[in-house]
Amino acid sequence: MVAALLLAVVLAALRRAYDAEWQAARLDRLTGTLNRRGFDSALAKVAQQALHGSRGYLLVYADLDAFKSVNDTYGHGAGDTVLRAFAAAARRMLGPDDLLGRMGGDEFVLLVHPHEDRDPYSQAQAIHATLTAALEGLGYADLGCSMGTVIVEPPEYPSQRRQLKSVLRI
């Protein structure tokens, strides 16, 4: 009986350690966002769901302008503060099904489902304005973000679903 209880305690501890390491392998420690591996994994699941759903999404790539200058002038601590502030501002805009990942350095990717009451182009402009304002509020000269957005419409016909599946290699 004691041996079984001890085994259960050890297995539970191992499971918690495994779960923590699995999570850490998919998260960026500095910003708390998904890292490249975590984002790619989550994106594959979203792409699979898109084949069977009717929702489109915005895929947003953001790169921080003048970030290197902040690091060089004020130090890496200031750069870390900028990255955390950017991630926090982006996170506040996300819905429960949206994704945010740090691809490396000062590059982030967001996967955002469009609001039903707003066209995707306007939503992309609002995202850019919000993120730029958050960075400008930090007070560093020329700090902002450049952003590119792809509006992905859901496939409407079976042939489009096959094409999407082929492109995404699912």
Q: Catalytic residues, which ones?
A: 106
Secondary structure element (H or E) that encloses residue 167, with its range: helix 158-168
- At residue 85's C-alpha, the angle toward residues 84 and 90, to 5°, is 100
Q: Between the CA of residue 8 and those of 16, 17, 20, 41, 51, what are the distances in Å?
A: 12, 14, 18, 31, 41
Segments in 51-95 forming alpha helices (H): 67-74, 76-93
Bridge partners of 58, per DSSP, are 112, 151
d(CA 57, CA 120): 8
